Structure 1
Amino acid sequence: MNIKNIKQPFIENFPGDFSNNPIQRNTPKVLFATVAPAGFSQPELIVFNKDLSEETGLGTPEKEDISFLAGSDLPENIRPYATAYAGHQFGSWAGQLGDGRAIFAGEIINNLGKRTEIQWKGAGATPYSRHADGRAVLRSSVREYLMSEAMHHLGILTTRALSLCFTGENVVRDMMYNGNPKEEKGAVMIRMAESFLRFGHFELISAQKEYKTLQDLTDFTIQNYFPQIISEGIQKYKEFFETVCRKTANLMVEWYRVGFVHGVMNTDNMSILGLTIDYGPYSMMDEYDLNFTPNTTDLPGRRYAFGKQGQIAQWNLWQLANALYPLIKDEKFLEDVLNNFGNHFWGAHDQMLCKKFGFEELLDGDEEFFTNWQGLMQELRLDYTLFFKQLEKTDIDSDLRFLFENVSYTQLDDESVNKLKDFIGKYNARLSVNSISKEESIELMKKSNPAFILRNYLLFECIEEIENGKTEMLDKLIMALKDPYQEIYPEFSGKRPSGYDGISGCSMLSCSS
């Protein structure tokens, strides 16, 4: 690989701590600390993303590159570092946080001028590990590797995964925070993104009243990642905030489109570029439930439940607005932009649902139709993804009990089937108003509704196989997620088997996932 092309422009532009000391500590008035990965003497490569490597200009890996992939034997040009940020966690100010188990190698620029940041996750402690070890377990690493790639191929902005390695050591984790820690296999992955800048980076500097550094960071961000903003002065920062709000709203709509639930939408887990970042206790939606949270740490309040993600995104943007206020200095402007967030979000959300149902445009009455559909989905406990795939197959003569009996997580009785018939009747009436043909409508649906989603029970089975030295399911899942709008492996397309109900790692996870 072209490792020697990795550069470190971030640490060249901002104040940092060059002590190369991993001991957990506060680092006031700096944005990063240099720190070396722990290094692992016997790493073993599990999977490598050749397509991503070629796309970003790293090229084909050689055998000796495995050490680099695991954070060992680094070339002289690389000066690893971790960044400091702050954040609101579960609605409360948490103060200084930072890259607790992520260490930056730097960034690479490909032949087309595209920038890509590279970081290890699970490669050892940093000053921001908060008394943790900075390691990662295989379980969480497989989940992030596969889900970030799944989201990319679904067409959703996300960080991506380059490689996953065994570290050769065991790591102790209490998976459910219930006083039952155990040893698990350790792993380290490399993940990549155009930028890993978070809301929390801006929150930290603003809270420390380092306004010159806040301006430098915002200018750096605009120059490198928002080239469409060409204004000067305060107007530049206003356009920056408006753009971040729009990107964040669009990301939420895309999560709703495929049924993704992040599980821990703290402000330090929010990307300034509108990327899906930090895959912890996430889940793809099985049965449709606006109140579903996959995160046991989020109980009983369910702050980050599926149906609240748009609302929480707006709340998080309020915190970013507070952080940027010293640059914008216009309270009314910020309030107007944030109050308009809902209009943009709901407009894009309803347009998204139109495509999922095969409607070419939003008409009067569609909002009521969508609300009634949501009630039906929850009452009959219908699988979100499978419902739409079966809806594509319905016509006026369809046997609805046959079509939907394997879509519900409860038995469909006669009353339930009658409710389905009533809904499908209204759906067909709405379709008849379309100016496009039924065939064109179905094609619109197929482009919006995935045939394959990476369900938690599939990840659970895959992780168990890898722990037992097998990679057949891993290989098949990677193949399936590359083309999620086609049914490559029918065995992956069913609803969650009842035997996995309530199983840790399938239905519910903790932040230690």
Structure 2
Amino acid sequence: MNIEHIGQPFLKKFPGDFSNNPLQRNTPKVLFATVKPAEFYKPHLIAFNEALSEEIGLGKFEEKDLNFLVGSQLPNNMQTYATAYAGHQFGNWAGQLGDGRAILAGEITNANGKKTEVQWKGAGATPYSRRADGRAVLRSSVREYLISEAMYHLGVPTTRALSLAFTGEDVIRDIMYNGNPQYEKGAVIIRTAESFLRFGHFELMFAQGEHKLLQDLLDFTIENYFPEIVSSGHQKYKDFFENVCTRTADLMVEWFRVGFVHGVMNTDNMSILGLTIDYGPYSMMDEYNLNFTPNTTDLPGRRYAFGKQGQIAHWNLWKLANALQPIINDENFLENTLKDFGIYFWEAHDKMLCKKFGFDGLKKEDAEFFTNWQGLMQELQLDHTLFFNQLEKITPDTDLNEHFSPVAYTVFNEEKINKLEDFIEQYRSRLHSNSISKQESLKLMETTNPKFILRNYLLYECIEEISSGKTEMLVKLTQALEHPYQELFPEFSKKRPSSYNNTAGCSTLSCSS
């Protein structure tokens, strides 16, 4: 791997703390602190993403690279660091936060000039670890490694995963925060992104009154990550905010399309580039439920439930707008842009649903149709992904009870069957008004609705296998997630088994996932 080509422009541009001190503390007026990853002496490689490594310019993996994959035995000229940010967590201001278990190596540039940041997660404590050890367990590392690649192949903007490795040490965690900590195998992943900048980086500078540094960070971000912005002066900052709003709305629509629930949408977990970032207690949705949250820490309020994700994104953008106000200096503009967010989001959301159903475009009457569909899905407890897979296969002769009951998490009675039949009749009527052919309609559905999603119970089984020294399921899941619009393994295209309904780390998780 070409690790000697990893550069560090962020360190050269902004003020930081170069003390290499991992002790938890405040670091005012700086955007980063240098810190060395922990030394792991018995690492073992679990998975390596060869295609991604070649794509970003790191090249092929060799045995000598294993230590680098866990942050050990680094080149002498590499200054590793963690960034400081702030944020609102569960609706409350949390003050200074930062990369608590993430350490940046720097930036690699490939042959085409594309730049990618490289970051370890789980490689040790930083000044921002907040009394934690900065380590990660196998459980959370497998989950992030697989889901970030799954989301990428689904077509959802996301950070990506380069490698997954055992550290050779055990880490103690209380998985359900119920006073029963246990030792688990430690692991490190390397994740990549164009940038890991978050809403919280800008919130921190605003909160500290560092307006000059805030403007410098905005200029750096626009110059490096928003080439489409060609305006100057205050207009470029306005264009930047509009762009962030659009990217964020588009991301939320993609989450709704594939049934993804983030679980902890704090402002410090929001990418300024509109990427899915920080995979903790996430879940791909099984039965459709607007009120579903996979995060036990989010109960009972369900602030980050599936159906609220657009609303929470809007709320988070209000907080970002507040942080940018000293630079943009136009409250009317910010308020109007935020008002437009809701209009843009819902129109994009409904256009997305049209594709899922194979409609030629959004019509006025579709709003009522979608509302009826949501009610049906929740009442019949239908599997979000499998419902659309079955919908693609219906014919005039299909027995709807027999066809849809295998993808429901409840038993159909006569009343429910009647409601299903009424809905399908509405659906067929709407399809009849399409201006596109049946083949074109089906193609829309097949390219919008995945056949495979990375369900929590599959992840649970995979983690159990890896813990016992097996990797067969990891290999199969990797193959399946790389082709989510095909059914490579029919055994993965089934609803969650009832035996997993109340399994910790499967149906619901804590932030210690």
- TM-score, normalised by the number of residues in structure 1: 1.00
Partner of 1:488: 488
Q: Structure 1 runs of 4+ off > 3 angstroms?
A: none
Q: How many Å separate the matches in 2 of 1:219 and 1:365? A: 45
CA distance in 1, matches of 2:400, 2:410: 15
The one-character-per-residue Cα deviations of 1:143-181 (angstroms, maximum 9, x if unpaired) are: 000000000000000000000000000000000001110
Identity of aligned residues (%): 73
CA distance in 2, matches of 1:63, 1:396: 58
Could you report, residue by residue, the CA deviation over 1:462-513 in whole angstroms, capped at 9, with x for unpaired residues? 0000000000000000000000000000000100000000111111000000
Does the aligned pair in 2 maintain the 1:108–1:115 contact within 8 Å?
yes
1:455 maps onto 2:449 in alignment: no
1:375 is the counterpart of 2:375:
yes
Cα distance, 1:360 vs. partner? Answer: 1.3
Query: What is the correspondence of 1:32-181 to structure 2 with a 5 Å cutoff?
Result: 32-181=32-181
Aligned partner of 1:315: which letter? W
CA distances 1:259-314 after superposition (whole Å, capped 9, x unpaired): 00000000000000000000000000100000000000000000000000000000
Query: Which aligned pairs between 1:250-399 and structure 2 lie closer than 5 A?
Result: 250-399=250-399
Q: Which amino acid aligns with 1:338?
A: L
Match of 1:13 in 2: 13
Match of 1:429 in 2: 429
Separation in 1, partners of 2:217, 2:326: 13
Instruction: Tell me if the contact between 1:245 and 1:341 (Cα under 8 Å) persists in the aligned partners.
Output: yes
Q: Partner letter of residue 87 of structure 1?
A: G
Give the superposition deviation at 1:449: 0.2
Secondary structure of the residue aligned to 1:389 is: helix
Q: CA deviation at 1:241?
A: 0.3
Q: Secondary structure at the match of 1:405?
A: helix
Q: What amino acid sits opposite 2:333 in the alignment?
A: F
Partner of 1:227: 227
Mapped to 2, the partners of 1:64 and 1:131 lie a distance apart of 33
Cα distance in 1 for residues equivalent to 2:80 and 2:216: 22
**What amino acid is the match of 1:348?**
A
Is contact 1:314-1:338 (8 Å) kept? Answer: yes
CA contact (8 A) 1:222 1:240 kept: yes
Q: Structure 1 counterpart of 2:11, which letter?
A: I
1:374-427 Cα offsets, whole Å, 9 max, x none, are 000000000000000000011222111111011100111222111111111110
Number of the residue aligned with 1:188: 188
396-405 vs 330-339, which deviates more? 396-405
Unaligned segments of structure 1, at least 5 residues = none
Map Cα deviations across residues 34-88 of structure 1 (whole Å, 9 max, x no partner): 0000010110000000000010011001100000001000012311000000000
- Contact 1:7–1:77 at 8 Å: present in 2 too? no
Q: Which ranges in structure 2 are unaligned for 5 or more consecutive residues?
A: none
- 1:333: how far off? 0.5
Give 2:215's aligned residue.
215
Shift of 1:230: 1.1
**Distance across 2 between alignment mates of 1:457 and 1:161:** 21
Once the two structures are superposed, residues 167-204 of structure 1 have per-residue CA deviations (whole angstroms, 9 ceiling, x without a partner) of: 00000000000111000000001000000000000000
Q: Distance in 2 between matches of 1:413 and 1:36?
A: 61
**Structure 1 Cα separation of the partners of residues 360 and 164 of structure 2:** 42
Partner Cα distance (2:227, 2:388) in 1? 38
For residues 112 and 164 of structure 1, the distance between their equivalents in structure 2, rounded to whole angstroms, comes to 26
